[in-house]
């Protein structure tokens, strides 16, 4: 039995760290496991310009413990007004290696997002020229659509027409949650890829209801049925370079999770890599973890793979019930559970 696993230093290509006290708490957790991360720009107000992204990077760098190496990559949050010149500026400053597209209203702080993809046509043309991927939150927001169908409907109604219109654009469909997404991405050309979270491979929608309603497992896209979970897990362990790691770890204080209108998001970053390792091992595919976590994402983005390594040890780790933060608490994914891997 494998007792230790050393892999090339990985990238978390979809991560929310927020700002201020929350960032101070969560950033060291990610930096202890990942060498780089795509830091999501859905702050309040969102990170829509190079200037805002550079200022955010300053705050991030100040919060990284001095013994850790960590590089944040910050996609700009596209709005109806994002100009091509802004895309070029962000690329040339080195801060962005991708851009983020939220359909307006899809998730936390997405109200100022793009209302119609036609409005950012110029930005898209610059991205194609620079080879920058568009990171898409792939859910429709029409309230008449069944909540569990939001992703599938997005693929059919928005993503497929978009890909026909701009076949040269690299696209990452973020945090996929359905078999439909897996099948669609698998059969698409090499310009389309996807990130996969630990929660969408470890949990199905029963986790929302087991033991009574559990808002800590509420996220976007919402957890799906067991057959969908299995399809996403199979994609993650398939060795297909279109599927790579992005935790979508999304911390919210307890008070904002446990209320009517509570926010979506799981805080998985505390033990993200150990959780992936556990799920890959259970599926008999531990040997597929390194490429999923450290190669495929960097390759798709067109950035260098990391040098250096991280080591996981097969030893029990108890996930804390919560962390104190800013007079409130943050409840992590699998709070109170024992998992079978930890970082060395």
Q: List, by residue number, the catalytic residues.
A: 248
Among residues 8, 33, 42, 82, the one that binds ligand DOR under rule CB under 6 A:
42
The residues in 50-109 that bind ligand DOR, with binding defined as CB under 6 A, are: 107-108
CB of 166 closer than 8 Å to CB of 128? yes
| Rounded least distance, CB 280 to ligand DOR, Å | 22
Nearest CA-CA partner of 328 in 268, 251, 213: 251
| Rounded least distance, CB 197 to ligand DOR, Å | 9
| Rounded least distance, CB 16 to ligand DOR, Å | 5
CB of 219 closer than 8 Å to CB of 248? yes
Among residues 46, 138, 215, 265, the one that binds ligand DOR under rule CB under 6 A:
265
* Total interface residues for ligand DOR by CB under 6 A: 12
Binding mask 199-228 for ligand DOR (x = CB under 6 A): --------------------xx--------
Among residues 17, 134, 192, 250, the one that binds ligand DOR under rule CB under 6 A:
250
Task: Tell me whether strands 323-325 and 192-196 are parallel, antiparallel or unpaired.
Answer: unpaired
Q: Can you give 141-194 as a three-state secondary structure string? A: CCCCCCHHHHHHHHHHHHHHHHHHHCCCCCEEECCCCCHHHHHHHHHCCCCEEE
Among residues 70, 101, 263, 296, the one that binds ligand DOR under rule CB under 6 A:
263
Nearest CA-CA partner of 344 in 69, 7, 1: 7
CA within 13 Å, CB half, 141: 14
Among residues 264, 274, 297, 332, the one that binds ligand DOR under rule CB under 6 A:
264
Nearest CA-CA partner of 198 in 299, 122, 280: 280
Q: Is 178 in the site for ligand DOR (CB under 6 A)?
A: no
Name the residue nearer to Zn ion (CB basis): 75 or 215. Answer: 75
CB of 55 closer than 8 Å to CB of 82? no
Among residues 11, 12, 86, 248, the one that binds Zn ion under rule CB under 5 A:
248
Pick the stretch among 27-35, 161-169, 259-267, 300-308 that binds ligand DOR (CB under 6 A).
Answer: 259-267
Q: Which runs of consecutive H residues, i.e. helices, occur in 64-147? A: 84-92, 121-130
Residues that bind ligand DOR (CB under 6 A): 16, 42, 107-108, 137, 219-220, 248, 250, 263-265
């Amino acid at each position: 039995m494998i007792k230790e696993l050393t892999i090339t230093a990985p990238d978390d290509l979809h991560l929310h760290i927020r700002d201020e006290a929350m960032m101070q708490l969560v950033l060291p957790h990610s930096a202890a496991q990942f060498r780089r991360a795509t830091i999501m720009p859905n702050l309040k107000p969102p990170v829509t310009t190079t200037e805002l992204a550079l200022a955010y990077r300053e705050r991030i760098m100040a919060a990284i413990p001095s013994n850790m190496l960590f590089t944040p990559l910050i996609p700009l949050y596209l709005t109806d007004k994002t100009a091509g010149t802004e895309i070029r500026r962000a690329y040339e400053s080195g801060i962005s290696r991708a851009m983020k597209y939220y359909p307006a209203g899809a998730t936390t702080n997405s109200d100022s997002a793009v209302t119609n993809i036609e409005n950012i046509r110029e930005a898209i043309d610059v991205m194609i020229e620079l080879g920058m991927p568009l990171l898409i939150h792939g859910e429709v927001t029409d309230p008449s659509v069944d909540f569990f169908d939001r992703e599938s409907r997005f693929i059919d109604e928005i993503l497929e027409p978009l890909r026909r219109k701009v076949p040269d654009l690299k696209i990452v469909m973020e945090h996929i949650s359905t078999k439909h997404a897996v099948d669609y991405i698998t059969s698409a050309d090499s310009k389309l890829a996807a990130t996969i979270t630990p929660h969408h491979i470890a949990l199905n929608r029963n986790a929302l209801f087991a033991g009574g309603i559990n808002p800590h497992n509420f996220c976007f896209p919402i957890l799906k049925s067991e057959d969908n979970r299995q399809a996403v897990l199979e994609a993650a362990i398939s060795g297909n370079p279109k599927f790579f790691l992005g935790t979508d770890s999304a911390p919210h204080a307890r008070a904002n999770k446990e209320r009517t209108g509570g926010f979506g998001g799981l805080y998985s970053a505390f033990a993200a890599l150990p959780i992936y390792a556990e799920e890959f091992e259970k599926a008999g595919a531990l040997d597929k973890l390194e490429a999923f976590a450290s190669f495929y994402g960097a390759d798709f983005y067109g950035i260098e793979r990391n040098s250096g390594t991280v080591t996981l040890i097969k030893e029990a780790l108890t996930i804390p019930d919560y962390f104190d933060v800013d007079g409130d608490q943050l409840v992590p994914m699998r709070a109170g559970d024992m998992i079978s891997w930890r970082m060395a």
